[in-house]
Amino acid sequence: MRIRKATKKDLKEIGLLMKIKFNEPPFNEKTSISAVLKSLNFYYKIGKIFIVEIENKIVGVIVFKIEQFWEGPVIIIEDLAVLEKSKDLVKMLINYVESYGKKKSVKHIEFLTNKKSPAVKFYEKYGYKINKNRIYMNKKLK
């Protein structure tokens, strides 16, 4: 098992993994593989994509970017998916990003997740906190 930076050639396999995982509850995202690949290509250019491989098969992915906030650089995790429900794989990816952030003098890590996700308790146990000062807002444009 190893973590490595994704290559352009990996994007299709990563996209299929993400489509499968994000179609499952609690996310239930009904999206096309082309939409997932469009997003992956975008983040491949502006962000970082790292994968976990076991025997040359991609079993996990984390997609993130670094943004400059007033308080300093911040990692924003855009997507995290693992093929199997494995806390070890998630932990491995989170540890990797945290180490990466420390090397880059990042001040903190942020991400959004579904409030019904069982992962919320896992993240809290791992030291992440629900931010009481920020709310997620959106508006659908027609």
Beta bridge partners of 109: 75
Cβ atoms of residues 76 and 64 within 8 Å: yes
Rounded to whole angstroms, the Cα distance separating 113 from 18 reads 14
- pTM, rounded to two decimals: 0.89
Biggest CA pair distance of the chain = 45
Mean pLDDT calculated for residue range 46-67? 96
Q: What are the pLDDT digits (tens) for 2-27?
A: 999 999 999 999 999 999 988 887 77
Kindly give the pairing relationship between strand 2-5 and strand 108-111: unpaired
Q: Name 114's Cβ contacts closer than 8 Å, sequence gap at least 6.
A: 26, 27
